[in-house]
Amino acid sequence: MRIGLAYHSNVASRYASGVIPEHWPTRTCGACDHVRVIVRPQEPRDYEAAKVVYAEAFKRQDHGDRVPPEVGIFATLWEAKDVIDELSFTALAQNAVVGHVTASRAKVGFDPVVAVGPIGVLPDHEAKGIGSALMNALLSAADAQDVPLVVLLGSPQYYRRFGFRPAMELGVMPPEPRWGSAFQARPLRAYTPSVAGPFEYAPAFSS
């Protein structure tokens, strides 16, 4: 499921769900009412399954067997410990990983913020609200941790529903001016106008 690049792109294994905190969102698939989809914070055991999700979600027929760059970015972020575990989420259906969203360390000027991406859902589980549940879980968790701003690169039409707006309206400058309105930011409760200036992703995004 390509629900927006959600970052600068240069470029399913089954796991038990464990104990699910009651406050994390759950939902039942609209197309298969007997299947409950659970969204929970990512765990170390999700790593391989998340790579499968990104490989399938971003697969392009015209690229043959080439591994999508999203997989490499996720792996590099993980290995560099730039993934923020408590803000990254995994979606499971029948104990199988079907979706994942990655939150990583970033900066606006000297202020720490959060970058979103990659985010993806297995093609067989599209159009069931899983991508929205993952994004909403990330935003809620970031807000609870007093993150001032969440930033992504993606479709303005899609991400507007989550409260994202062109980052330049907030004085947040993209690494690439050509990104224009696709470079978006979502202010959270801890945001103040002083969080402004050039945006910097973790090094994985330029590798």
Higher pLDDT, 12 or 192: 192
> In this predicted model, what pLDDT tens digit does every residue of 79-124 receive, in sequence order?
999 999 999 999 999 889 999 999 999 999 999 999 999 999 999 8
Four-point Cα dihedral 162, 6, 199, 195, nearest 10: 10
Per-residue pLDDT tens digits for 32-42: 445 688 999 99
Distance (Å) of CA 150 to CA 15, 88, 108, 154, 196: 29, 13, 10, 13, 12
Distance CA 33, CA 87 (A): 28
Q: pLDDT for 126-138, tens place per residue?
A: 888 899 999 999 9
The mean-pLDDT minimum among 2-16, 26-40, 65-79 falls in: 2-16
pLDDT at 188: 98
Residue 23: what pLDDT?
39
pLDDT at res. 207 = 63
Average pLDDT across the chain, whole number: 84
**Residues 113-163 pLDDT 10s:** 999 999 999 998 888 889 999 999 999 999 999 999 999 999 999 999 999
- Token match 């792109």: residue? 9
pTM: 0.82
